[in-house]
Amino acid sequence: MSGKRWGAVVAAGAMAVGLSVVGSPAQAHGGDHGVRTVGYYTQWSHQDRGIPVRYLVDNGTAARLTHLDYAFGLLDERGGCVSSDPDADYRRSIPAEQSVNGKADRPGQALAGNLNQLRQLKQKFPKLRVYISLGGWIGSAYFSNAALTPQSRAAHVKSCIDLWLKGNLPGAPAGAGKGVFDGIDLDWEWPATEGNAGNVVRPEDKQNFTELLREYRRQLDKQGRADHRTYDLTAFLPANREAMDRGYELPEVYRLLTFATVQGYDYHGAWEKTANQQSALRVPDGDPTTPKDSGEIVVDAHLQRGAPRDKITLGVPYYGRGWTGLPDRENGLFQQSTGPAPATYEAGYDDYRVLKGLLAGGKYTLHRDDKAGHAWLFDGTTFWTYDDPTELARKGRFIRDRKLGGAMIWSLDGDTPQGELIRALSAGLHRH
C-alpha cells in the first residue's frame, strides 16, 4: 500500500544517548499545545491542478494548520538531496492574483516559486511550521543508498541541510531559501520492503533507517544551535504490519522523531479487483480481505509496537479511489470490478472536490456505514470510496478520543474552495 506519490499516485500496496531532547509538546505542535493538523502541499499542485499556495489562505486551510509539508524533494543515485523541479520550487514567477501577499513577483528577485509563497504563508501565519518532505512513492528509489554507511548518511544529511535549510538553491543567490523550512520530513516508502518498481532495497535498511535518523538529529541539532532555533524531524510510517516489522525499529524511530505521520488510507484500491473501503476507521461487516485494514487496526499496531500516542499523527485522505464494471448488488461494496474507474488525473483516483461534483450531478448515490466509519458513491456500475466532511469530522473525533497526536492530510489540493474538509476535520479534532 502506498499513501503519497511524487507526480502521480501509483498503486502499491525522543532521543538517542548523547543527543538533545526532541519532541517536546511545544516542538511537536509548533508552539500550540493542542492536536496537530498537518497538511501536505505538493510541488505540482499549482501547475498541474491550478491550486496555488494562496488557495490555502482563501479557503481557510492555512489558519487551521499547525504544520505544512512541502512534497517532495528527491535524492539522486548517490543519496544527495536535489530539487526535482527548480522552476516550480523557486524560479517560477507568481502573479499578484495567485500570490499569498497579493503582490506579483519581481524580475530577478532572489526567491520565487512555491518556496517564496511558503515564506509568505509563514509571515501571514507565524505559528505555522513548514517542512520539506523527501521521497514519496515515486521518489524513494535511492534512500537505501543514502542510508547505507556512516559516510553516506553524513553526506546525505549535509546535502539536505545545505539545500533546504540553509537555502543554497542551485542558480539562486547563496542562502536565498533560508528560513522557509523548520524541519525535514522523511517519506521513504519503504525501508527493507519493496515499494515502487526500481527502488533499491536492502535487508539492512531497517537498522540503517534508525542510524539515518540519528545522523539527521545530530546535524539538525548542530544547525539549530548555529541558527538559534529548533529544527524538527518527522517521517511517514506505513499501515502494512509486515512493512512495519521488516523496515523499522519502531520504538527507537519514534524516540528520534518529533512526531510521525501514519498511513491512514490506501487500504484498498483499483490494484485489487474487489471494490472496498480505502480509509475506514473500523473493518466493515463482510469485508472479504485478509489481512483486514482500518484506521483502528493501524493505530493499534503502532501502539503495540511502542509508539507514544501523542506522536501518532493519523493520515486522512482528501481523495477517493474508484472501480468500474461492478454488478448492481450491495451498492457495489465488495463486488468484483473490471478495472479502475475513469478519473480526472489517473484512473481509479480523484480528488474530493471532483467527487463532490459527481454526487451533485445526480447520477450517483451516497452510501455510509456509520459503524465502520466510511462512505462511498455508487451509480450501479462505478464505485468511489472517499472521505466527505461527515467522515472527516468522525476521524477528528476518533483522533481526539484516542488521545492521538493529530491528523495528517494528503493532500491539501483536494479540498473545495469553501474548505469543507478542513472545517469538518478541525471541528472533529477540537471541542467547541
pLDDT digits (tens, 9 = 90+) for 159-173: 999 999 999 999 999
Per the DSSP assignment, residues forming a β-bridge with 38 are 67, 408
Torsion sign (Cα): 246, 302, 414, 132:
negative
Whether residue 27 has pLDDT greater than 60: no
Rounded-to-integer distance, Cα 197 and Cα 53, Å: 31
The mean pLDDT of 350-367, rounded to a whole number, is: 97
Structural domains of the chain, ranges and CATH numbers in brackets:
25-263+308-318+388-429 (3.20.20.80)
Whether residue 260 has pLDDT greater than 50: yes
The mean pLDDT of 393-415, rounded to a whole number, is: 98
Rounded-to-integer distance, Cα 302 and Cα 308, Å: 9
Whether residue 11 has pLDDT greater than 80: no
Please check whether residue 37 is in contact with residue 409, taking contact to mean a CB–CB distance below 8 angstroms: yes
Burial (CB count <10 Å: 0-12, 13-18, 19+), residue 174:
exposed
pLDDT tens by residue, 139-155: 999 999 999 999 999 99
End-to-end alpha carbon distance in the chain: 35
Residues taking part in catalysis = 189
Whether residue 17 has pLDDT greater than 80: no
Residue 432 has what pLDDT? 59
Whether residue 375 has pLDDT greater than 80: yes
Alpha helices (runs of H) in 305-419, residue ranges in sequence order: 352-360, 389-401
pLDDT level of residue 317 (50, 70, 90 thresholds): very high
pLDDT level of residue 40 (50, 70, 90 thresholds): very high
